[in-house]
Amino acid sequence: MKKLSLIFLILICMIFIGCTKTTNSVITSTAAEKSKSMDYDINKTTYTNKQITINYPQITNLSDSSKQKKINELIKTQGLSILNDYSESINNLNLKINYEIKWKSSNILSIEYSGTAYVKGTAHPSNGVFNTTNININTESVIKLQDIVTINKDFAEKYKNAKYKSPIDELNSESNGEIKKYLANFAINDLLQQFKDKKSRFYFTKDSLGINIDVPHAIGDTLELEVTYKNLSSFIKTDNKIWKEFIKDDLKNNSNSSNSSTSSNTDAKQTQLQKKQNTTNNEITNKLAISSNSTLG
């Protein structure tokens, strides 16, 4: 009878261990499915009206159809908002806009709209970047510049001295010289005003935060200024979760430290449990041995 009891206890232990392994397997699978569910593709959609053509992206194949619909509505509204700047001259407007995906991930979609606009009767067309849209995929919302960085004079100074890119395809030495001269004389307060404007145009790349500014037509109408995340570390609002995607090294170190601590604690607990189990097994074995000897006696 006691031997049967021992066998019964062993079977219970085996079932318990099996259930624990199954639970861990389910958790891992769920995490993988959640990550996969955030994958999506991008298709081009075109708005046309007389001499107006605006291409803007729409996401597809997102597992959450409700989320996909809301995000696409945000993108469309933002993309077509360019027309608001020409509401009084819409009938005389010739507008050609295309988009570029500056950054795409399961967390962020960063879009830049550029092209050419000409209003009949004006001296020249406008070229360059007309708008940007940055979508937080997780919260289904538009990311604002003031929510992710601290905008002050020191921040503006960083961009005043940043590397730049002009919509002019081939800049000659004279044009480059004019751009450098213009940026050198750009008043910090004027730059701040553009950055703080609710229509400020910015975008994400793998390693930099880009901001578009308005400049005279002679040097391109707009300029892209980029500063690396590393050089913006003192201005980044790290409490905003979108930064987890771009400052992985720091987070990785913290994560490794946390994981190491967790792993050590887990190992210690497992060792204690193993010792306890061994003690229990020894006690059971001793009792069975004593019982067996008594029976034989």
Are both 150 and 245 inside the same structural domain?
yes
Question: Does a structural domain hold residue 277?
Answer: no
Are both 132 and 149 inside the same structural domain?
no
Question: Does a structural domain hold residue 51?
Answer: yes
Over its length of 297 residues, how does the chain's per-residue pLDDT go in tens digits?
A: 555 555 555 555 555 445 444 333 333 333 333 334 458 999 999 999 999 999 999 999 999 999 999 999 999 999 999 999 999 999 999 999 999 999 999 999 999 999 999 999 888 898 888 999 999 999 999 999 999 999 999 999 999 999 888 766 555 556 778 888 999 999 999 999 999 998 899 999 999 999 999 999 888 899 999 999 999 999 999 999 999 999 865 434 443 443 444 444 545 555 565 666 666 555 655 554 454 444 444
pLDDT at residue number 224 = 94
Look at residues 47, 165, 169, 167 and name the one whose alpha carbon lies nearest to residue 97: 47
Question: Does a structural domain hold residue 261?
Answer: no
pLDDT at residue number 5 = 57
Are both 160 and 117 inside the same structural domain?
no
Are both 123 and 152 inside the same structural domain?
no
Look at residues 157, 130, 174, 131 and name the one whose alpha carbon lies nearest to residue 227: 157
Are both 171 and 230 inside the same structural domain?
yes
Structure tokens given for 267: 């190992």
Look at residues 103, 109, 39 and name the one whose alpha carbon lies nearest to residue 72: 109
Backbone angle region of 139, left / alpha / beta, with phi > 0 → left and psi within -120 to 50 → alpha: alpha
123, 143, 163 - which closes a domain: 143
Are both 93 and 177 inside the same structural domain?
no
pLDDT at residue number 258 = 37
Task: Give me the CATH number covering residue 125.
Answer: 3.30.565.40
Are both 222 and 155 inside the same structural domain?
yes
Are both 206 and 245 inside the same structural domain?
yes
Query: Are 226 and 161 a contacting pair, CB within 8 Å?
Result: no
Alpha-carbon gap, residue 19 to 33, rounded angstroms: 21
Query: Are 137 and 107 a contacting pair, CB within 8 Å?
Result: yes
Question: Does a structural domain hold residue 4?
Answer: no
The tokens 């730049």 sit on which residue?
A: 164
Please spell the DSSP secondary structure of 157-195, one letter per residue: HHHHTSEEE-SSSS--HHHHHHHHHHHHT--HHHHHHHH
pLDDT at residue number 65 = 96
Alpha-helical segments (H) within the chain: 2-36, 65-80, 145-148, 153-160, 173-184, 188-196, 248-296
253, 271, 292 - which closes a domain: 253
Look at residues 74, 49, 72, 54 and name the one whose alpha carbon lies nearest to residue 62: 72
Are both 127 and 162 inside the same structural domain?
no
Give the structural domain span for 191.
145-253
**Total domains in the fold of the chain:** 2
Neighbours of 156 (CB within 10 A): 22
